C-alpha cells in the first residue's frame, strides 16, 4: 500500500455493534449492506478512507462517483469554513455573490449557448427538472432513454430509468420508452467503442462504427411504431452509463441518435451526473467525446465533491418556455453549496485533475487489460479516464459470474484495503471511479489486490 503522511484521528463514536443495531432498527431494508461485514468509515483524506479501527482503504469509488477531487480536500474545507462564518443559507429570491460567482464559472465550462443555470440538490431532481423543461419547450410529452440506464429515483424517473433493480413493481407515468441497448459487449449487434480497451473480436472502424446504423434503425422503429405520432420531448442518455455497468456506446451512436431525435421534435439531454468535470480525461464533459452538443445538461455527484449540489444547464430559449410559471427551489443556490461548487471547479483546474484522469485512467485500464489475460473470469474491461468497469463472467462465455462468487471476490478486495462497488444488470461489474487525484502507485496497489482476490476465490 502506498505510503501517506496522514494520520487519522482516534475514533470515539458508538461501537460497531451499536451502529449495526441502530441500522437494523431504524434504516429501511431497501438500503442493503455492500459487504458481508460492512465497513464503518470514520475519516477520509484525498484518495484514502479510514475505518473506526484506523485501517486504511484505497477509495476506488468515491462515494458513488461523488468525491471528485479528494476526500476532505483541504481547499474545499477551508472555503466551506470561511463561508460558514458569514452565512449558511439564503433563498435564491435574494441576491448573494456566491451563487452568481459560481454559475458564471460553471457556465464558462460549457458551450456558449448553454448558459442558463438552475441549481438544485441531486441528480434525480436535475433530471426531473430537465424532463419538465423539455416538455414545456417542445410541447411534446414522450421521453426516450436507453435500456440499463439510470437517471434517478422518484415516481416519474422510475419510468425514465431502465435498471430493474431500481424499478418498483408499481405503475409509473405514461410516456417513457426505452431504446435497445447499444452495448458493444452485450448488445445485439456488438460494435467498437471509444476506448483503449475493446471487446474481443470487435470491429475496429476508423470513424462511426458499422453497428451504429443497426442500433439507430431500432431507435427509428421505436419512434415510428411505439411513440404517438413519432413526436418526442427528449432523449436522455448518460455519456457512459454508470449504474448500468460503465457501458460505452458504439462510436457515432449518440451523434446519430441526437440527429434522429431532433428530426422528431425532441431535445437531447446529456446526463453528466457521473461523467462530467473531467472524469473521462480527454474532455471536461463526457458528451464532448461523442461530438455532440446537448440542448440540456444535467450534473450532480462530483459537482460538489460530496456536498448536496446539482445543476441543470440549458439555453435561454429553452428556459424561456419555463417563464410562464414561477420556479422555486429552497436549497438550490444555497450559499454553502455554491461556495463548495466553485472551490471544486478551482481545484480541478489548479491541480490539473482532468489531465490526471486521462493519464492515470489509461494506465489503470491497461493494467486491467493485462489482468484480463490472466483471469478468464474477466469478460470485459471498459471505460475512459477514471470511469472504469470490469465485467465478470463464467470463463469462456458471456454468462454473468454467479453473484455469490462476485460477492466473495468483492469481499476479499475490501478485506485487503480497496473499496470498489458492484453494478450492471446482474451485479457482476466492478465499477471503479475514484477521486481524480489517484496516482499510478495507487493503481498498482489496487491491481495487486484485485489480482489476489480473484485468484483466491476462483481457485477454491
- The whole-number pLDDT of residue 156 equals 84
- Of 304, 324, 350, the residue at which a domain comes to its end is 350
Rounded distance between C-alpha atoms, residue 336 and residue 83, angstroms: 6
Calculate mean pLDDT across residues 112-129.
97
Same-domain check for residues 254 and 378: no
pLDDT band at 92 (very low <50, low <70, confident <90, very high): confident
Query: Is residue 8, in this structure, part of any structural domain at all?
Result: no
- The whole-number pLDDT of residue 190 equals 97
* Cβ contact 371:447 at 8 Å: yes
Query: Is residue 152, in this structure, part of any structural domain at all?
Result: yes
Query: Is residue 358, in this structure, part of any structural domain at all?
Result: yes
Cell 431500432 -> residue: 218
Query: Is residue 261, in this structure, part of any structural domain at all?
Result: yes
- The whole-number pLDDT of residue 164 equals 83
- The whole-number pLDDT of residue 328 equals 86
Same-domain check for residues 150 and 241: yes
Question: CA 83, 84, 86 angle in degrees (round to 5)?
Answer: 65
Length of the chain: 460
Task: With H, G, I as helix, E, B as strand and everything else as coil, classify residue 341.
Answer: helix
Q: What CATH number is attached to the domain comprising 362? A: 3.90.1150.10
- Of 297, 318, 350, the residue at which a domain comes to its end is 350
**What would the grid cell of residue 71 be?**
476526500
pLDDT band at 170 (very low <50, low <70, confident <90, very high): confident
Query: Is residue 161, in this structure, part of any structural domain at all?
Result: yes
Calculate mean pLDDT across residues 353-360.
98
Same-domain check for residues 357 and 281: no
Q: In what order do the strands lie in the sheet with 429-432?
A: 378-384, 387-392, 429-432, 421-423
Task: Kindly write down the DSSP assignment for every residue of 60-109, as one continuous string.
Answer: SSHHHHT--S-BT-HHHHHHHHHHHTT-S---TTS--HHHHHHHHHHHTT
Query: Is residue 30, in this structure, part of any structural domain at all?
Result: yes
- The whole-number pLDDT of residue 90 equals 86
- The whole-number pLDDT of residue 296 equals 98
- Of 302, 332, 350, the residue at which a domain comes to its end is 350
365-390 pLDDT, tens digit per residue, is 999 999 999 999 999 999 999 999 99
Q: 213 or 327: which carries more pLDDT confidence?
A: 213
Same-domain check for residues 121 and 179: yes
The answer to which of 132-146, 164-178, 293-307 has the lowest mean pLDDT is: 164-178
Query: Is residue 71, in this structure, part of any structural domain at all?
Result: no
Number of domains in the chain: 2
- The whole-number pLDDT of residue 312 equals 98
Same-domain check for residues 248 and 382: no
Give residue 374's domain range: 16-65+353-458
pLDDT above 90 covers a percentage of the chain that reads: 90
Same-domain check for residues 197 and 308: yes
Q: What CATH number is attached to the domain comprising 86? A: 3.40.640.10
**What would the grid cell of residue 14 be?**
458508538
Same-domain check for residues 170 and 309: yes
pLDDT band at 34 (very low <50, low <70, confident <90, very high): confident
Whether residue 460 has pLDDT greater than 80: no
Same-domain check for residues 357 and 328: no
* Cβ contact 368:447 at 8 Å: yes
pLDDT band at 172 (very low <50, low <70, confident <90, very high): confident
- The whole-number pLDDT of residue 111 equals 97
pLDDT band at 235 (very low <50, low <70, confident <90, very high): very high
The answer to which of 77-86, 87-96, 316-325, 423-432 has the lowest mean pLDDT is: 87-96
pLDDT band at 229 (very low <50, low <70, confident <90, very high): confident
- The whole-number pLDDT of residue 21 equals 95
Whether residue 28 has pLDDT greater than 90: yes
pLDDT band at 91 (very low <50, low <70, confident <90, very high): confident
41-57 pLDDT, tens digit per residue, is 999 999 999 999 999 99
Phi and psi torsions of 444, nearest 5°: -60, -40
- The whole-number pLDDT of residue 230 equals 86
Same-domain check for residues 303 and 362: no
Same-domain check for residues 104 and 177: yes
3-state SS of 368-436 is HHHHHHHCCCEEEEEEECCEEEEEEECCCCCCECCHHHHHHHHHHHHHCCEECEEECCCCCEEEECCCC
- The 8-class DSSP code of residue 230 comes to G
- The whole-number pLDDT of residue 173 equals 86
Rounded distance between C-alpha atoms, residue 69 and residue 56, angstroms: 18
Query: Helices marked H in 139-211 — which ranges?
Result: 157-160
Rounded distance between C-alpha atoms, residue 306 and residue 379, angstroms: 32
Q: Which residues contact 65 (CB under 8 A, 6 or more apart)?
A: 242, 273, 274, 279, 301, 302, 387, 431, 433
Same-domain check for residues 345 and 360: no
Query: Is residue 10, in this structure, part of any structural domain at all?
Result: no
pLDDT band at 408 (very low <50, low <70, confident <90, very high): very high
Same-domain check for residues 214 and 159: yes
Cell 455497468 -> residue: 245
- The whole-number pLDDT of residue 53 equals 96
Amino acid at each position: 500500500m502506498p505510503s501517506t503522511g496522514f494520520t487519522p484521528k482516534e475514533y470515539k463514536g458508538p461501537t460497531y455493534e451499536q451502529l449495526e443495531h441502530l441500522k437494523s432498527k431504524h434504516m429501511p431494508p431497501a438500503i442493503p449492506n455492500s459487504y458481508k461485514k460492512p465497513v464503518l468509515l470514520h475519516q477520509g483524506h484525498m484518495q484514502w478512507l479510514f475505518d473506526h479501527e484506523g485501517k486504511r482503504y484505497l477509495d476506488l469509488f468515491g462515494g458513488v462517483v461523488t468525491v471528485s477531487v479528494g476526500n476532505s480536500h483541504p481547499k474545499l474545507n477551508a472555503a466551506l469554513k470561511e463561508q460558514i462564518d458569514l452565512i449558511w443559507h439564503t433563498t435564491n429570491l435574494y441576491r448573494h455573490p456566491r451563487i452568481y460567482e459560481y454559475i458564471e464559472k460553471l457556465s464558462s465550462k460549457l458551450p456558449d449557448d448553454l448558459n442558463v443555470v438552475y441549481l438544485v440538490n441531486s441528480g434525480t431532481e436535475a433530471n426531473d427538472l430537465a424532463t419538465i423543461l423539455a416538455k414545456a419547450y417542445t410541447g411534446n410529452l414522450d421521453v426516450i432513454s436507453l435500456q440499463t440506464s439510470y437517471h434517478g429515483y422518484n415516481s416519474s424517473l422510475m419510468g425514465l430509468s431502465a435498471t430493474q433493480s431500481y424499478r418498483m413493481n408499481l405503475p409509473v407515468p405514461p410516456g417513457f420508452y426505452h431504446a435497445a441497448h447499444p452495448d458493444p459487449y452485450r448488445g445485439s449487434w456488438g460494435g467498437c467503442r471509444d476506448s483503449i480497451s475493446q471487446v474481443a473480436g470487435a470491429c475496429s472502424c476508423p470513424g462511426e462504427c458499422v453497428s451504429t446504423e443497426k442500433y439507430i434503425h431500432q431507435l427509428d422503429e421505436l419512434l415510428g411504431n411505439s411513440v404517438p405520432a413519432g413526436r418526442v420531448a427528449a432523449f436522455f442518455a448518460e455519456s457512459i452509463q454508470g449504474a448500468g455497468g460503465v457501458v460505452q456506446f458504439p462510436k457515432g451512436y449518440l451523434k446519430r441518435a441526437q440527429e434522429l431525435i431532433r428530426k422528431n421534435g425532441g431535445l437531447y439531454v446529456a446526463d453528466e451526473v457521473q461523467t462530467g468535470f473531467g472524469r473521462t480525461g480527454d474532455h471536461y464533459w463526457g458528451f464532448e467525446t461523442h461530438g455532440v452538443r446537448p440542448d440540456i445538461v444535467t450534473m450532480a455527484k462530483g459537482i460538489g465533491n460530496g456536498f448536496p449540489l446539482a445543476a441543470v444547464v440549458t439555453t435561454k430559449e429553452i428556459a424561456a418556455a419555463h417563464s410562464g410559471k414561477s420556479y422555486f427551489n429552497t436549497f438550490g443556490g444555497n450559499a454553502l453549496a455554491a461556495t463548495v461548487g466553485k472551490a471544486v471547479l478551482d481545484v480541478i483546474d489548479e491541480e490539473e485533475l482532468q489531465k490526471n484522469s486521462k493519464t492515470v485512467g489509461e494506465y489503470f485500464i491497461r493494467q486491467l487489460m493485462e489482468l484480463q489475460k490472466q483471469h478468464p473470469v474477466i469478460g470485459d474491461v471498459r471505460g475512459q479516464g477514471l470511469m472504469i468497469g470490469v465485467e465478470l463472467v463464467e470463463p469462456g462465455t458471456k454468462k454473468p459470474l454467479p453473484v455469490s462468487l462476485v460477492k466473495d471476490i468483492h469481499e476479499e478486495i475490501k478485506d485487503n484495503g480497496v473499496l470498489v462497488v458492484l453494478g450492471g444488470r446482474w451485479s457482476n461489474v466492478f465499477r471503479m471511479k475514484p477521486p481524480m487525484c489517484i496516482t499510478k502507485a495507487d493503481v498498482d496497489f489496487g491491481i495487486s489486490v484485485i489480482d489476489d482476490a480473484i485468484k483466491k476465490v476462483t481457485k477454491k
